[in-house]
Structure 1
Amino acid sequence: MKRPFSSMSSSEKGSSKPKQGMFADIKNDLIAMVGEFIGTILFLLFALGAVQTVATNLSSNESGSASAGTQGGGDLAVKLFSYYYISAAFGLSLFATASVFYRFTGSIFNPNVSLALCLIGAIKPVRFVLVSIAQMVGAIVASAILEGLTPGSLAVNVGLGLGTSKTQGLFIEMFTTAALVLSVLMLAAEKHLLTPFAPLGFGFTLFVVMLFSTAFTGGAVNTARAFGPACIQGFQNYHWIYWVGPTLGALLATAFYMFLKAVHYWKITPGQDSTDESDSPDVATGDNAV
């Protein structure tokens, strides 16, 4: 097979590659930054829009500019339904927007996920910084747009509820974020037959962890999600838990992922994502038993 023709000598190629590669990386990082900015706006605009819908209908946005829209009002049934409504909205919004941007930027929309991807080497430090900035600014823009589009005061802040302490809230945010980050690492960073369907896994994971955490912490699971509305509504004195908790969660998920890679997890139960009929268990002989 013939190699593509090139008029450049091997020495010229070698000298030009680093420069071309450097500019290509910067260009790609900046494009990814723009994509994450737009994607984060869309993801949070629709997700936070659901929170605002609940807050408006339950008139919970009358308690002040720093009110937490994720703490529903009304009787127990109404509260439970509002938690489910908000959790479903976030999960579906992430699935929808991630499906659109997945082949473009990886559909991160979360600086804690970006941190984990940087730590495992999936993205470089420069891209991590750029997309994290884009995600934080995108969250502010989404909150500002939502305030302009809906009546009444913005009421989409996260907040501790049901008597949850700061320590409890911190660890709830840590474990829920760890679950979301792990879904990204195992479904998107790892390449296998389920990788093309990773956005569906992201959405379901976010939905599930928010079913647990929304009533207690507001279900941030994302520092940008907590930071954007707070810039419009105001910061609670415990806002720091939405930075520390998700960051610890990203580190926990990364550590577990690295452990799985170290023990060659794919060899523990081989052929799990195989579609080859020959990999099916041989009932007669039991040859395929683990």
Structure 2
Amino acid sequence: MAEEKLELNNMESDLLSNPKGKAKENLNSYERVFQPCIAEIIGTMFFVFIGCVSVIENVEATGRLQPALVHGLAVAVLVACMAEISGAHFNPPFTIAIYICGGIQLKKALSYLVCQLIGGVLGAGLAKVMTIKENYANAEGAAFTIVKSDDQLMRALFAEMAMTCLITTVVLLAALNAKTKSPLAPFLIGCTVIINVLAGGDISGTCLNPARALGPAVMTGYWTYHWIYWVGPITGGIVAAALVRVLLGDRKTRVLMK
């Protein structure tokens, strides 16, 4: 009886880590090591590319709606397509939070972080090639320029932290936590991006992703208050991971009150 229970637990663990039931031993070295990293580069690249273009070519009449919809829908589509290859992180705070919650090993997490930053720079480069030079210059290449003075600093920093905490919590609960895991995860994550951009676009620009901030900064050389878009999102991601690890996670994820 004990052996049957152990076998059942092992099967459940395999299904959670591999939802489509593909045995890990069927993956070759390319699929285990290189393909996920390539997916993180390409996914982040396309997300940053299309996000930057939506800002650079945005027309005044649409306001924040165009960038909000583009960023949110891009996330939803890319997550739906690439989740079974790499987990579709495309964002350093997500990777850090997933690592804290035990969803990825440290070595792979570090490689994902590097790949995401590379993808961010490549995506911003594609946006520069595609867009009209005048529009690109007017929008500073979609770099985050909304914070102009120290008076805005704390509001913007808190906004980046709080909004990243929200979306990271959605990611962890909808895509990682076994009790709340949902096939609607891409839709839920994309909707949360749209909500955040509509709510906080005028306060911080709603970056929530250091890779999204880094690419345009490298392409344009605009580094004013750039650190906000690292410290805020990463702090928010860590807070979200703590919420799931301590309060919201299932027994496998939660570290207290099991």
TM interval, short-chain normalised: 0.7 to 0.9
When normalised by structure 1's length, the TM-score is: 0.70
Matching residue of 2:89: 108
> Which of residues 229, 241, 264 in structure 1 aligns to 2:216?
229
Matching residue of 1:147: 128
Q: Distance in 1 between matches of 2:221 and 2:72?
A: 25
Does 1:216 pair with 2:203?
yes
Offset at residue 258 of structure 1 (A): 1.1
Offset at residue 170 of structure 1 (A): 0.7
Unaligned runs of 5+ in 1: 1-20, 59-77, 266-290
Does 1:173 pair with 2:160?
yes
The aligned amino acid for 1:252 is V
Q: Distance in 1 between matches of 2:147 and 2:226?
A: 14
Offset at residue 161 of structure 1 (A): 4.9
What percentage of residue pairs aligned between the two structures are identical? 25
| Residue pairs, 1:68-147, within 5 angstroms | 78=61, 81-147=62-128
Q: Distance in 2 between matches of 1:165 and 1:30?
A: 42
Q: Distance in 2 between matches of 1:194 and 1:122?
A: 13
Unaligned runs of 5+ in 2: 1-24, 253-258
Q: Distance in 2 between matches of 1:128 and 1:109?
A: 11
Q: Distance in 1 between matches of 2:49 and 2:89?
A: 15
- 8 A Cα contact 2:173 2:249, kept in partner: no
Does 1:39 pair with 2:39?
no
Alignment coverage as a number of residue pairs: 223
Deviates more, 1:189-198 or 1:215-224: 189-198
The aligned amino acid for 1:226 is A
Q: Distance in 2 between matches of 1:193 and 1:248?
A: 23
Offset at residue 160 of structure 1 (A): 2.5
| SS of residue matched to 1:216 | coil
Q: Distance in 1 between matches of 2:168 and 2:193?
A: 10
| SS of residue matched to 2:225 | coil
- 8 A Cα contact 1:111 1:224, kept in partner: yes
User: What RMSD, in angstroms, separates the aligned Cα atoms of the two structures?
Assistant: 2.6
Against the structure 1 CA distance between its residues 120 and 249, is the aligned structure 2 distance closer, same or farther, given a 3 Å change threshold?
Answer: same
Matching residue of 1:156: 142
Per-residue Cα deviation, 1:214-248 (whole angstroms, up to 9, x for no partner):
11111101111111110001233311111100011
Offset at residue 192 of structure 1 (A): 4.9
Offset at residue 148 of structure 1 (A): 0.7
Structure number with bigger Rg: 1
Per-residue Cα deviation, 1:245-265 (whole angstroms, up to 9, x for no partner):
001101110111112257869
Q: Distance in 1 between matches of 2:250 and 2:171?
A: 19
| Residue pairs, 1:233-244, within 5 angstroms | 233-244=220-231
Matching residue of 1:73: none
| SS of residue matched to 1:165 | helix
